[in-house]
Amino acid sequence: MQPLDRWVPVAVSSDAPAPVSGAERATDGAPPATTRIGSGLAGAGRSRWILFFGLAATILIVDQITKAWIVSNYEVSVAVPILGDSMRIWLSHNTGALFGLFRDQALIFAAFSFAVIGIILLYEARAGKSWLVTVALGLLLGGALGNLTDRLRLGYVVDFMDLGIGTWRWYTFNVADAAISGSVLLLLLVAIVPSLGGSNRDA
């Protein structure tokens, strides 16, 4: 056996890897972090679609329930005061478009509604991260489906809300029309103030 003083120390190469600390090991998991970010974005996307379809379904259901109740309890073209003359129930059969425009074109507008629904779905898919736009498009889809259901089932749209002062009256409308009008106002607001629709790129 050689004595201990005969052992020669071996130099450690500077190319050898340095010891890795626990903190550095934690940062080595970059792919998992990326996965977490991606899953978060996917989760937000799913939440927007749930809001979009949930809002549209709610508008459709409320619209059809109110129309069925009105038809069962009121007569066509008979004004029934609710808040005096300023708000009345006036049941009417609208064969045209929104607010009674372009009457006797129900089938044409039914076909047009399918195209509009497709555009709404496409636009929602490209809406980016804007919750406000999602709400607006959900209202728009629900309103379009509500009136489309009437046109396919009855050949006309059931309108019943009549607002006005004295002889000045607004067009009769329904829940679906109100949702569509609210949607248009929200989209105009986003167009005027793009920051409300998310980032500049998304807006």
CB 113 within 8 A of CB 107: no
Q: Which tokens hold the place of 61?
A: 């259901």
Q: Which residue's structure tokens are 């007569």?
A: 75
Pairwise CA distance, residues 48 & 132, whole Å = 10
Task: For residue 85, indicate whether it is catalytic.
Answer: no
Is 177 considered catalytic here?
Answer: yes
Structure-block tokens of residue 128: 């980016």
Please identify which of the residues 63, 150, 162, 177 carries the catalytic annotation.
177
- Residue 137's φ and ψ, nearest 5 degrees, are -70, -30
Distance CA 122, CA 86 (A): 39
Q: Indicate which residue of 63, 150, 159, 162 is catalytic.
A: 159
163: which strand partners?
A: 87
Question: Using CA atoms, how far apart are residues 51 and 91, in angstroms rounded to an integer?
Answer: 32
Q: How many angstroms separate the Cα of 120 from the Cα of each of 13, 45, 56, 142, 150?
A: 65, 16, 11, 10, 19
Active site residues: 159, 177
